[in-house]
Amino acid sequence: MAWLDDEGRRRVAEAVTAAESATSGEIVTVLADRSDGYTDVALLWASAAAFTAMSVFAAVPLPFLETWDALLGGWGHQWTTGEIASMVVVLGLLKFAAVMLVQQWQPLKFLLIPAPVKTARVHDQAVRQFKVGAERRTTGRTGVLIYLSMREHRAEIVADETIAAKVAPEVWGEAMGDMLAHIGKGRVAEGLAVGIADVGHVLAEHFPRGADDENELPDRLIEV
């Protein structure tokens, strides 16, 4: 899914160019639809639902058996142990498949993902993107990654080691807050532009632009 049009992408790129005009730091922006497929979480929910259904059947089998008898025309049936065991297995499989199926609806799938799991995986993906796109790729090791993951409603700012040595992580809180205030209202390009400007101000304070400074990393938005 494309979260920005060409105008939005252009605005983000221009914001990076403007922010870098006063600093030797380099800003990389990454916009992700999601940070993980969360298949393991979906499987856990489906397995839990299947196990719960099988446990309820085992604990109180009579309502299930009476329902099945009614479906067969109301005639009583002497269920064997093997038949009951088979019904338990089939019930579990059907429940598992049903829960996996309903989780194909993305809003529900992401609603069922625990918040700490989302936060951890967005952070991990941001670090991976940083290692690929920014870490140690500038002369002075002054790269900063702004990472936005839309499905999880989370963002990360990751800085290279030279910046991290001078700028405490809490300093990025203002940039994060300003950025998310716009994004939360659906203004993604505006939010990124504001966050980029805030990061640029911090970088300019600690790493002013030199006369021989070169643009070492692309200004364009990276979409994954």
pLDDT tens digits, one per residue of 148-173: 999 999 999 998 888 888 888 888 88
Task: Give the span between the Cα atoms of 60 and 184, in whole angstroms.
Answer: 47
Proportion of the chain above pLDDT 70, given as a percent: 91
In a domain, 104, yes or no: yes
Q: Is the Cβ–Cβ distance between 175 and 198 less than 8 Å?
A: yes
Q: What's the pLDDT at 124?
A: 94
> In this structure, what token pair is assigned to residue 4?
């920005």
Give the residue carrying structure tokens 């309903």: 102
Q: Which of 84, 111, 138 is the last residue of a domain?
A: 111
Q: Which of 82, 111, 140 is the last residue of a domain?
A: 111
pLDDT surpasses 70 at 134: no
In a domain, 1, yes or no: no
Q: What is the mean pLDDT of residues 18-36?
A: 90
Q: What is the mean pLDDT of residues 33-54?
A: 94
Number of compact structural domains in the chain: 2
Q: What confidence category does residue 122 fall into, taking pLDDT thresholds of 50, 70 and 90?
A: very high
Give the residue carrying structure tokens 């058996």: 65
**Same domain flag for 23 and 12:** yes
Q: What's the pLDDT at 67?
A: 74
**Same domain flag for 122 and 190:** yes
Q: Which of 52, 81, 111 is the last residue of a domain?
A: 111
Q: What's the pLDDT at 11?
A: 93
Mind listing the pLDDT tens digit for each residue in 86-111?
878 888 999 999 999 999 999 999 99
**Same domain flag for 195 and 91:** no
Q: Is the Cβ–Cβ distance between 72 and 78 less than 8 Å?
A: no
pLDDT surpasses 90 at 65: no
Proportion of the chain above pLDDT 90, given as a percent: 47
Q: What's the pLDDT at 80?
A: 72
pLDDT surpasses 90 at 16: yes
- What is the span of the domain harbouring residue 57? 39-111
